[in-house]
Structure 1
Amino acid sequence: MSSTPSSDQLSASAAPVGPDLEKIPLDQVFSTLGVKADQGLSAQEAQKRLETYGPNAIIAKERSLLSRVLGYFAGPIAYMIEAAALVSAILGHWQDFTVIAALLVFNAALDFWQDSKASNALAALKKGLAPEATALRDGKWANVDAAQLVPGDVVKVRLGAVVPADLRLFGAGFAAIDQSALTGESLPAAKKEGDEAYSGSVVKQGEMAGVVIGTGGNTFFGRTAKLVAGAGSVSHAQKAMFEIGNFLIAVAVVLAVILVAAEVWQKAVVAQDWKWDDALGILQFVLILLVASIPVAMPAVFSVTMALGALALSKQKAIVSRLESIEEMAGVDVLCSDKTGTLTKNQLKLGDPILIAATDPQDVILAGALASRAEDHDAIDTAVIEGLTDPAVVKTFTQTAFVPFDPVTKRTEATVKDERGSLVSVAKGAPQAIVDLAQPAADVVAKVNDTVAALAAKGNRALAVARSQNGGTTWSLLGILPMFDPPRDDSRATLEAVGAKGVRVKMITGDDTAIAIETARQLGMGTNILTASDVFPKDMNPDQVPANISDAIERADGFARVFPEHKYAIVKSLQARGHIVAMTGDGVNDAPALKQADCGTAVSGATDAARGAAALILTAPGLSVINSAIDEARRIFGRITTYTIYRVALTMDIMFLVVLSTILLGFQPLTAIMIVIISLLDDIPIMTIAYDNTPVSERPIRWKMPRILAVSTALGFFSVVQSFGLLLAGMWAINSAVGQVYGQMLGLVDTTHLQTVMFLQLVTGGHLLLFVTRSERWFFLPPFPALPLVAAILSTQVLAMLMCAYGWFVPAISWDAIGVVIGYCIVWTFILGALRLVVEQLVSHRTTSRLRATHLVMQRLRP
C-alpha cells in the first residue's frame, strides 16, 4: 500500500481566475493581476494573496506511520495468515504461532521497505523548486522565500538561478533558459519579452524580470507533481498473488465447511456424544487446514526471486527500485522511449557545411567558431568549435568584441584580430537573421531558403555564418552549418533486438516533429510521428482519454512536442487497451509517465525526480541494457510461474489429503508441526529457483491465470491421488492381517509411523513435483536445473530422511520404509510429467481454437 499522496491531497494553489495569462498581451497581464512593473506588490497585498492562493509549494498530506504499518497487515492472504496465527495462540500451539507470525512480519517488512521509496519522486520534485527568489516588494528588490511568492509578484531571474514560479518575462534583455527537464527540448530556449518561463527551469544565460502568473500546484511544475502523485498502477504480480490467494482461500473455505459439517454430524448426531473438547478438536483440524491452504511464503519467495534478479541486473548497470517491475518487464509489449539522450547522444554534431560564398568548408566552420565563446559551454558553440579539423587555428585570432546571442536579433557577433593585425567581423545565427544582416542577392536568398527547408525536412537545425572584412559595413554569407543530435551507436541494434522480442517501440520526445521523424528513419523505426498538440486537446483529462485519441495513440509510431500530461495520457491509454507499457525518460517532465508505466525506466543522467518515479534506473548510457533486462525479466517470470504452479498443486495435495483422510478414514495424516515443517522444507530451498536455468520466451509473457490454475489443479488432483494411494497402502499395512506382515518388515507399527511416512512423501514428492512444473516438456530434458537448486533440494531431502530415520520432530521409521517412499515418489514423478504434457497440449489447443474463432468473427464480410 503506497504512502504516496494522491492528487487531491496536493496544494490547491492557483492563479487568479480570468484570461489565459500565458497568452494575453503583457499590459493585460499586469492589469489582470493588479500590479505595476516598477512597483511590484505591497507586503500587505502579498500577504493577502498568500492567504487566498496558498504557498508556492507542493504540499501533500502524509499518512501517519501507524496507518501505514497497519496497512501492511491487510489483504486476503494477510488475513488468513493472521487467522491461522490467532487459532494457534488460542490452542497454545506456540511453535506454529511463532513460525506463522515470523512469516507475516517478514512480508510486512518487505512491503514497508518498498513503500518507503514510493514518495521519492514527489520529494525530488520538491527539491527542484527554488528556495529563494528576488522579488520587488513595495518598490524595492529583496530576497524572499520562494514559497511566499504569489500571483502578481515581480521577480528577477539571472544566470544560474532556478525560476521560482511560472512567469511572463518583460523588459529589456534576454535569457536562455534550460527547460529540458520539463519539456524535453534538447537545447536551452531563448526567451524574450512576453515569453513564459516555467517554474523549476534553470537560467543558463542572461537576466530578465518577470511577473508571476502561477504558483504551487498551478504551475507547469506543479501540474507535473500532481500527475506524479496520482500516477501508479498495481503490479500484475500483486494481482496474481491476490487471485491465487483467493482461489486457495475459496477451496479452503469449502473444504473447511465440509470438514466441520462432517465432524459435527459424526459427534452430535451419529454418536450423540458432543463435548466442548470436540469443538477444540475441530478447531485444531481447521487450523491444520488453514496452515496447509495459505501460501504464507509466496510473497517472500516472489520478493527473494525478484531481488536476486535485481542483483543480476545491477551487474549490467541497471538498478531496480521497485522489485515488481522485473516481473512487469517480462510482459512489456510497448516501449515508449524518450529520444534525446536515450536514442540519441544529446550532443549536437556538425554536418557537412553547405557552401554559399565560401570555397572551403573549414572557412565556414572557422568563422562560426570565431563567433563563439568556448567558456560559455553553449551546446551550439561547442558543436561548431569541435567541427574544426585543427582547433588550434582559433588561437591565432584575438577576440576584441563579442555580442552574445539575443532572441530578438537571433545571432551572435564577434570582432577578431588576425595574425597580421587586421580586424574581421563574424556572425552566426538563424539563417533568416544572417540573411537580413548580409542582404545577399535574390538567388542566394532562394538557395538559403531551399537549403533550410531541406535540412528541416530531415530534422536538422540550420545555422548560417557570415563574415565582414570592413568592420561590418558589408557582409558575405559564407554558408550554412547543418546541426543534428546523432543516434547512439547501439540504438539501432538495440531497437531491432527489442522488436524481435515482440516489443513495439514508440518515440516520445519534446523536440520538433521533423527532428523526431528523421531520427526514427535513421534508427529504422516507424515514421508515423504525430505532433502532440494536433492530437491532444488542451483541456483533455489525461486520466480519461477519448476513444478516437486512444486509436491515434495505438496507431502512431511516436509523438513530438509532448508535455508531461501527454506522456502520462499515452501510457495510461495504452494500459487501458491491455498493453503492458515500459517508459524511458530522464527529466521532470517524464516523471508522471515513468511512475504510471508498468516499468518506468530512468536512463543514465536522469534527474532526481525521474529516478524517484522510475522502477528501473539505468546507470550506463543508451538503451542496450533494456534488451538484457527483458531477457532477465522473462527468465524470472518463468521461475515465478514454475513456483506458482508448484505451490498451488502442493497446497491442494495437502488440503485434500487432510480433509479426505479425516472424513473418510477418521485419521489425521499430519500433525500441525509437520505441516509447518513441510512448508519450511518445501519453500525455503525453493528460493534458490532464482538461480535456475530458464529458457527465454521469444514473445512478451504475462500472467494467464486460467492456464496456470488449470495446470496446477490437474497436477494437484493427481498429487492427491498419489498421496491418498500411499495412505491407503499404509492403512492396509497396519490394519489388515496380510498387510501387517509387510508393515512389520518396514517398521510400520501404528498410525504415528504412518504420519511420518506421509510427511516424507509430501516433502519428497513436493520437490520432485517442482522438476515437473519447471518445464513444459519432459522434466529430464534441457534446460537442466541449476546447481544451486539441485543442491538445495538434495540437502533438504537428506535432512528430511534423517529426521524420519532418527525421530527429529517426528516419530522415527526404518530406512527400508524411507526407501520405499522415495521409490514410490520417483515413479509418480514420471506419471505427473506425462500428465503435464497432456494438460499443456489440451490448454494450447483450446487457446489456439479460441484465437482462430476470434479472428474469424473479426474478419470483414466480403461480397
Structure 2
Amino acid sequence: MLSPNRPPRQDVNHRQIRGPELEKMPIDELLTTLGVEAAEGLSAAEARKRLAIFGPNALTEKRVSLLRKLMRYFAGPMAYMIEAAAIVSAIIGHWGDFSIIIALLLFNAALEAWQDRKASNALAALKKGLAPEATLLREGAWRTAPASGLVPGDIVKIRLGVVVPADIRLVGGDYVSIDQAALTGESLPVAKKGGDLAYSGSIVKQGEMTGVVIATGARTFFGRTASLVEGAGAVSHAQKAMFEIGDFLMVIAVALALIMVIVRVYRDLVVVDDWGLSDALSILQFVLVLMVASIPVAMPAVFSITMALGALALSKQKAIVSKLSAIEEMAGVDVLCSDKTGTLTKNQLSVSEPILVQGQDAQDCILAAALASRAEDRDAIDMAVIDALADKHATNGYRLEKYTPFDPVTKRTEARLVAPDGKTLIVAKGAPQAIVQLASASPHVAAAVAAIVADLAAKGSRALAVARSQDGGRSFDVLGVLPMFDPPRDDSKATIAAARAKGLRVEMVTGDDTAIAKETARQLGLGDNIISAADIFPKDFDPNNLPPDVAEAVERADGFARVFPEHKYAIVKALQKRGHLVAMTGDGVNDAPALKQADCGVAVSGATDAARGAAALILTAPGLSVIDSAIDEARRIFGRIESYTLYRVALTIDIMFVVVLSTIFLDFTPLTTAMIVVLSLLDDGPIMTIAYDNTPVSRTPIRWRMPRLLGVSSVLGMFCVLESFGLLLIGVRALSHPSAQALLGISTPQQLQTMMFLQLVVGGHLLLLVTRTERWFFLPPFPAAKLFFAIVITQILAVALCWFGWLVPAIPLRLIGLVWLYCLAFMFVLGFVRRICERFADGRTTREAKSVEIVHRPLAPHPVAAPVRS
C-alpha cells in the first residue's frame, strides 16, 4: 500500500497539518503532507515541536475561579431583589424577616450550584470516553504512552478492545470492525479498511490495523462534539418568568413609592408646613417596607419545591430528574426529537422469514446461516441468526473443522463442518453480492437475489444471503436471503400516538441510513418526510445559525437520517429559534450536545455517562412510555406554578395599592411593619403545599404567556384592592359613628389595622382557591388535603392572633365573623372576574391566531368566468 522508500519530510509546514482535506486525501499524499514515514514514525524532537503547536490530545474546559462561581449564584434580577429585601429588613431592624430572606437566598443559591455541578458532569463524562493510553511508533520503535501526548502525524496501532485515541486514517493491516454508535448513532459496528477514517473515542471490536493521526484534542470529531456540549444550554423559561414578574412588581412598587413620597412631602412642607428628620425617616421606613412587600422572596423557593416534588413523583415512575427546570419546560414542549436505535426500536437485530432462492425450507436456510456464525464472538448479526433458529439445539450434531471470520474484502463468514451423517459441508453467509460471486450463480439466480435485495432495501431492511456446498466447495447453492431489521419497540407506536394526542409532534433523528429510517417511521406512523442530513445541511454550516431555508426544511421534516452530532444540535437550535420548545432523547456521546441544548434533554435507558450528564431527565426503564407520564406530571406542576403566580402577583398588588392609597387619601397606615412580616409568613405557609394540589392536566402544551398572566393577575389584584379598600372605608366610617362602632365592635385605629390584617390573610387564601383552577372554585378538582388543611390551620392561627391579641391588637369575634362573610361574598366576585378576564384573553388570542392563519393562507385562483353568450 505504501512506498517503503519514500523519505520522511518532518520539516513540513505545520499550517498544512489541519483541515478536513486530510480526511479524504490519498494515503501517500497524506503521509507526505504530515511529514512522516509509516515505518519509522515521528522523531521525538518533531513530536515535541508539534505538541507545542497543536497542544495536548485532550479536552480542555474553561476554568472559572471559585469566587466568581460563588458570586454568580447571588447575581441576577431575582437575586438582587431578594438581597435588597434583606438589606431593607436589616435597616429597619426586622431581624426575623432578615433571617428568613437570607435562608431563601442561600436555598436558591444551593439549588443553582447543584444544577451547575450536574451540567459540568457532561464534559467530565466525555473525558472518560477518551483513550488513556496509545500504542504509537516513534523513531522506529513501538511504545505505549499517554494518549494526551499524541500529535498529528503520529503512527498508532489499534486492536480488539482498544479505544481509538485520536482521529486517524488507517494505513496498514487487513481490517478492523469499529463500534462508533456512541458517536454517529449507527446501530452496528462498521468494517474499516486501509484509507478509512476512525474516530477518536470509538471502540475496536475486531481486527488490528495501524493508522496515522490527522487530528487531536478539540479538532477531533469527538472534540468538536465536546465543544458543542460546553457551549450548549438554554435559559430556563421559569427563570425568565420570575425575572419578568419581579420586574413588573418592582416597577409598580417604585411608581407607587414615588407617588407616595411626593404626596407626603407636599403635605408636610406645603399643607402642614412642618418638616423634620423624624418625618423623613418615617417616609423612608415606609418606602422600604413597601419595597419589601413588593418582592416575592418566596417565589424561587415555591417554584423549586413544587418542581422537586414533581421530580420525586417521576422517580417512582423510573425517571430521574437531574435539572429541576426541565419539568416546567416539559409542560410546554411541542416537538419531541427522538433517537431511533434503542429508543423507538429494540436495538437488537431480528431475522424475518427467509426469502428462499434455491433452498426448500426456511428453517434449513436459517440453520445454514447459524452454522456459519460463532456465538462466542457476540457479533450482533451472528446472535440474531442464532436466535432465529426454531430449534436451539439444531447445531449440536455438527463438528466445526474450520471457521473463517468476516472481513471487508470477502464480505462473508464461512465454516467447514462435518454433519451428523458424516458428510462434509461448507456454509457461508454475508453480503448478497459476495455470496452470489462465491456460488458463481447463474444469471437467473443472481437476478432473483438482486431483486430481493432491492425490495428489502426499499423497506429499510438489511439483506444477508446464505449459501451451502455439499461437494467440498466445488459448487454452492444460494439457499436464500435473510431480511434483518431492528424492530420497533412494542410500546413505541402507542407512546407516539399518546404524545400526539397531547399536542406534540414527534420527529425521528438517527444515524442510520435513510431507507431504514423511512421504514421505521412507516411502521410507527411518523410520516414519510424523512430527510438525509447531507441533503439539507450545507457542507460547512454554522450549527448556531442555519440559513432560513434550511431551518424551514428542518421544521417541516418528520425525521432525519445519517445525522452527526452537529446536525442534531443544529436541528434543536433551529426549532428553538422558530419558537418551539424541544425535547430531545438520546443515549450516546453524539447526542450530548443536542441533549444539553434542548429545553428538556432526555437520556434513555442504557445511555452513556456523557448523555446522562448532559440530559435533564434520565429514564431508567427502556422506551419512551415514561415520557407520557412525565408530560402529564409536568403540566400539573406548571398549572400549580401558574396558579401560585396569579395569586402572588394579585395579592402583592392588593397590599401595595391599599397601603399607598390609604396613606395618600386617608392619611392612615392600614398595616404596621410587624403586620406585613406576619402576613408574609402566614401567606407563605400554605403556599408551599400548593405543590401537592390536585391539578387537571392540560390537553395541549402550556407555556408562560406573560401578557395574559400579568394582565389577568393585575385585574384580579385591582378587584382585590377594591375589596380591601372598600372594607377599610367601612371601618373608617364606623370609627366616626358610635352606632357603627357598637355594631362592628371596633373603636380604635389600631383595631382597624387588625381588621385589615385579617382581611388580607382571609382574602389572600380565598384568592388562592380562586386562582388554583380555571373552573369555579366550588367545582372539582377540589383542593388537595394538604393544601386545604394548611389553609384551615393558617386561618385558625390568624383568628387566634386577632381574637387574643397576639402580635396585633385584639378585635371581637363578631368583627372576625363579619370580615369572613365579607371576604366569602367577594370570593364569588373574584371568581367571576377571573373567568371573564381569561375568556377575553383567550378569545383575543384565538382571534389573533385566526388572523395570522388567514394572512398566511395561500390565495386560491379565482375561477375563470364563462363567456356571456349574446
The aligned counterpart of 2:198 is: 197
SS at 2:173 equivalent: coil
Deviates more, 1:687-696 or 1:734-743: 734-743
Q: Is the 8 A contact 2:18 2:215 kept in 1?
A: no
Partner of 1:241: 242
Please tell me whether residue 789 in structure 1 is matched to residue 787 in structure 2. Answer: yes
1:338 matched residue in structure 2 = 339
Alignment of 1:306-321 (within 5 A): 306-321=307-322
8 Å Cα contact 1:15/1:213 also seen in 2: no
TM-fit CA distance, 1:721 = 0.8
Counterpart residue type for residue 485 of structure 1 = D
Q: What is the alpha-carbon distance in structure 1 between the residues aligned to residue 775 and residue 656 of structure 2?
A: 27
Deviations 1:529-579 (A, max 9, x none): 011111111200010100110111111110100000111111111111101
Quick one: distance in 2 between partners of 1:82 and 1:15? 55
Q: Which amino acid aligns with 2:617?
A: L
- Mapped contact 1:585–1:603 kept (Cα < 8 A): yes
Aligned AA (1:345): K
Q: Which amino acid aligns with 1:45?
A: E
**Could you tell me which residue of structure 1 aligns to residue 400 of structure 2?**
399
Amino acid of the structure 2 residue aligned with 1:334: V
Task: Please say if residues 417 and 425 of structure 2, whose CA atoms lie closer than 8 Å, have aligned partners that are also in contact.
Answer: yes
Tell me which residue corresponds to 1:411.
Answer: 412
Q: Give 2:805's aligned residue.
A: 807
Distance 2:747 2:103 in 1: 36
* Pick aligned residue for 1:766 from 764, 767, 778: 764
Q: What residue is the counterpart of 1:385 in the other structure?
A: 386
Mapped to 2, the partners of 1:100 and 1:539 lie a distance apart of: 51
Q: Which runs of structure 2 are paired with 1:236-635 in the superposition (5 Å)?
A: 236-635=237-636
- Which residue number corresponds to residue 115 of structure 1? 116
Amino acid in the other structure paired with 2:714: T
Query: Cα gap change, 1:330/1:591 in structure 2, threshold over 3 Å: closer, same or farther?
Result: same
Which residue type is aligned with residue 845 of structure 1? G
Distance between the aligned counterparts of 1:842 and 1:222, measured in 2?
Answer: 52
Distance in 2, Cα, partners of 1:67 & 1:256:
34
CA separation in 1, counterparts of 2:570 and 2:609? Answer: 22
SS at match of 1:395: coil
Distance 2:261 2:103 in 1: 28
Rounded Cα–Cα distance in structure 1 between residues aligned with 2:120 and 2:25? 37
Query: What do residues 257-303 of structure 1 show as CA deviations (whole Å, max 9, x unaligned)?
Result: 11111222222333232222222211111121111111110111011
Question: How far off is 1:15 after superposition?
Answer: 8.2
Question: Does the 8 Å CA contact 2:290/2:656 hold for their aligned counterparts?
Answer: yes
Give the residue type in structure 1 aligned to 2:836. V
Q: Is contact 1:732-1:740 (8 Å) kept?
A: no
Provide the rounded CA distance (Å) in 1 between the counterparts of 2:772 and 2:381: 56
Letter in 2 for 1:174: Y
* Structure 2: 5+ residue stretches without partners: 1-13, 863-870
Contact 1:411 1:430 in 2 (8 A): yes
Residues 14 and 53 in structure 1, CA contact (< 8 A), matched pair in contact too:
no
For 1:799, give the aligned amino acid: L
Partner Cα distance (2:233, 2:101) in 1: 31
Which 10-residue stretch deviates more, 730-739 or 245-254?
730-739
Residue 374 of structure 1 aligns with an amino acid whose one-letter code is: A
Match of 2:720 in 1: 719
Pick closer, same or farther for the CA change 1:14–1:374 going to 2, 3 Å: farther
CA contact (8 A) 1:293 1:655 kept: yes
Q: Whole-Å Cα distance in 1 between the matches of residues 558 and 772 of structure 2?
A: 37
Instruction: Please show how residues 656-805 of structure 1 align to structure 2 within 5 Å.
Output: 656-743=657-744, 746=745, 748-805=746-803
Whether the 8 Å contact between 2:88 and 2:292 is mirrored in structure 1 is: no
Aligned residues of 1:368 and 1:427 also touching (Cα < 8 A): yes
Hey, what's the Cα distance between the residues in 2 that align with 1:680 and 1:110? 22
Contact map agreement 1:165 1:198 (CA 8 A) in 2: yes
**2:143 aligned residue:** 142
CA contact (8 A) 1:768 1:826 kept: yes
Counterpart residue number, 1:9: none
Kindly state the Cα deviation for residue 322 of structure 1 after the two structures are TM-superposed.
0.8
Question: What secondary structure is seen at the aligned counterpart in 2 of 1:813?
Answer: coil
Residue 8 of structure 2: aligned partner: none
Q: Which residue of 1 aligns with 2:53?
A: 52
Q: Which runs of 4+ in 1 moved over 6 A?
A: none
User: Per-residue CA shift, 1:665-720, capped at 9, x if unaligned?
Assistant: 22221122222222222123212112211111111111111111111011100101
SS, match of residue 396 in structure 1: coil
Contact 2:134–2:156 (8 Å) recurs in 1: yes
| Secondary structure of 2:158's aligned partner | strand
CA distance in 2, matches of 1:222, 1:662: 64
1:174 and 1:710 map into 2 onto residues whose CA distance is 68
Residue number in structure 1 paired with 2:3: none
Aligned twin of 2:30: 29
Cα distance in 2 for partners of 1:203, 1:498 equals: 38
* 1:134–1:142 contact (8 Å) kept in structure 2: yes
Q: Deviations over 1:638-684 (max 9, x none)?
A: 11111110110000001111111111122221122222222222123
Residue 130 (structure 1) aligns with:
131
> Is the 8 Å Cα contact of residues 18 and 214 (structure 2) preserved in structure 1?
no
- CA displacement, residues 406-441 of structure 1 (integer Å, 9 cap, x when unaligned): 011111111112223332111111111111111110
Counterpart CA distance in 2 for 1:735 and 1:82 is: 43
Give the C-alpha shift of residue 90 in structure 1. 2.4
Q: Counterparts of 2:19 and 2:303 in 1: how far apart (Å)?
A: 53
Q: Once the two structures are superposed, what CA deviation does each residue of 1:355-400 show, in whole Å capped at 9, x if it has no partner? A: 1121111111111111111011110000000011111111111212
Contact 1:96 1:673 in 2 (8 A): no
Rounded Cα–Cα distance in structure 2 between residues aligned with 1:215 and 1:572: 27
Alpha-carbon separation, structure 2, partners of 1:472 and 1:39? 43
| SS of residue paired to 2:422 | coil
SS in 2 for 1:769: helix
Q: What do residues 577-625 of structure 1 show as CA deviations (whole Å, max 9, x unaligned)? A: 1011111111100111111111111110011111111111111100111
2:471 counterpart letter in structure 1: N
The alpha-carbon deviation at position 66 of structure 1 amounts to 1.4
Question: Is 1:831 aligned to residue 829 of structure 2?
Answer: yes
User: Matches of 2:394 and 2:847 in 1, distance apart?
Assistant: 73
**CA positional deviation for 1:524:** 1.2
Output the amino acid matched with 1:353: P
1:292-315 deviation line (CA, Å, top 9, x unaligned):
111110111011111111111111
Preserved contact between residue 402 and residue 413 of structure 1 (Cα < 8 Å): yes
Counterpart CA distance in 2 for 1:357 and 1:849 is 67
Superposed, 1:68-83 pairs within 5 Å as 68-83=69-84
Please say which of residues 755-764 and 107-116 is displaced more in the overlay: 107-116
CA change 1:615–1:376 in 2 (3 A) is: same
CA RMSD of aligned residues (A): 1.4
Cα 1:432–1:321 change in 2 (3 A) is same
| Matched AA of 2:229 | V
SS of residue in 2 equivalent to 1:836: helix
Counterpart position of 2:7: none
Matches within 5 A, 1:96-115: 96-115=97-116
Between 721-730 and 15-24, the greater mean CA deviation after superposition: 15-24
One-letter amino acid of the counterpart of residue 215, structure 2: G
Contact 2:685–2:794 (CA under 8 A) maintained in structure 1: no
Q: TM-score w.r.t. structure 1 length?
A: 0.96
- The letter for the 2-side match of 1:522 is Q
> Partners in 2 of 1:19 and 1:700 — Cα distance?
42
Instruction: Pick closer, same or farther for the CA change 1:18–1:704 going to 2, 3 Å.
Output: closer
Opposite residue 840 of structure 2, the aligned amino acid is: L
Aligned residue type for 1:401:
K
Alignment identity in percent?
Answer: 67
Question: Does the 8 Å contact 1:411/1:434 carry over to 2?
Answer: yes
> Which of 838, 845, 848 pairs up with 1:847?
845
Check the 8 A contact 2:192/2:408 in 1, yes or no: yes
1:6 corresponds in structure 2 to none
Matched with 2:90 is: 89
Q: How many residues align?
A: 848
Following the alignment from structure 2 to structure 1, what is the Cα–Cα distance between the partners of residues 19 and 132? 29
Distance in 2 between residues matched to 1:291 and 1:29, nearest whole Å: 69
